[in-house]
Amino acid sequence: MKTDDLISALTETLAPVPRYAALLWLVEGIGAGALVSFVAMWTWLGVRPDLATAMTTSAGWMKFGYTLALALFAFWATERLARPSASARAAIAGAIAVFAVLFAFASMKLMMAPPAARMPMIMGSSAQVCPWRIVILSLPIFAGTFWSLRKLAPTRLALAGGVAGFASGALGAWVYAFHCDESAAPFLLVFYTFGIAIVGAAGSLIAGRVLRW
């Protein structure tokens, strides 16, 4: 086809694009995924019975706060990386800062605890299942996010995929926090972050195939 014909064809079917179309696509994909993930958590694992009590403690808030803050910064970075030439530096720095705060807090808690209590604070009672449940609950969000990203235009595929996977993992971990009854910061730091990082690595690995355009 001649390039001039192509230009004519593209022009003929031009439709207006709403101002926030790209952002809305992302929110749609993430939102639909999060909904499925929440229903899955509810039917498969169930919300912890003492959720109302847990929310009166700082430990309860810390889990929701950490995961949600990570998710927000990482999704912001995803939105940036979905656009050619946009910079995601500030957003990624935000996510790193969230991790650093929990790292400092958990280290402090460990140092203050008697040595014999340290290992239990890290391992909790669900270390074996926690990261995998987070991975599973992240899958719908992961699928929704990548579905959205395929319509956008990431140019650094491995980075965009990794950040999008990390964001999906963080939101999946937030959903899991409704079930999980662990309360120690070191556990959260190690096993929540591990689960989230697995999803991020998966996103980075498949990005070259899935996100190409």
Q: What are phi and psi of 129, to 5 degrees?
A: -105, -25
Residue number with CB closer to another protein (29 or 195):
29
180 token code pair: 């999980």
Least Å distance between CB 153 and another protein?
Answer: 4
Inter-residue contact 161 to 211 (CB < 8 Å): yes
Q: Which residues contact 25 (CB under 8 A, 6 or more apart)?
A: 148, 151, 152
Give residues in contact with another protein (CB under 8 A): 1, 3, 5-17, 19, 21-22, 25, 82-86, 151-153, 155, 208-209, 212-213
Residue number with CB closer to another protein (138 or 145):
145
Cα separation, 79 vs 74, in Å, equals 9
Least Å distance between CB 169 and another protein?
Answer: 24
**Degrees to nearest 5, angle at CA 95 with 91 and 100:** 140
Residue number with CB closer to another protein (17 or 116):
17
Residue number with CB closer to another protein (8 or 53):
8
> Which residue type does 89 have?
R
Least Å distance between CB 190 and another protein?
Answer: 33
Least Å distance between CB 108 and another protein?
Answer: 40
Length of the chain, please? 213
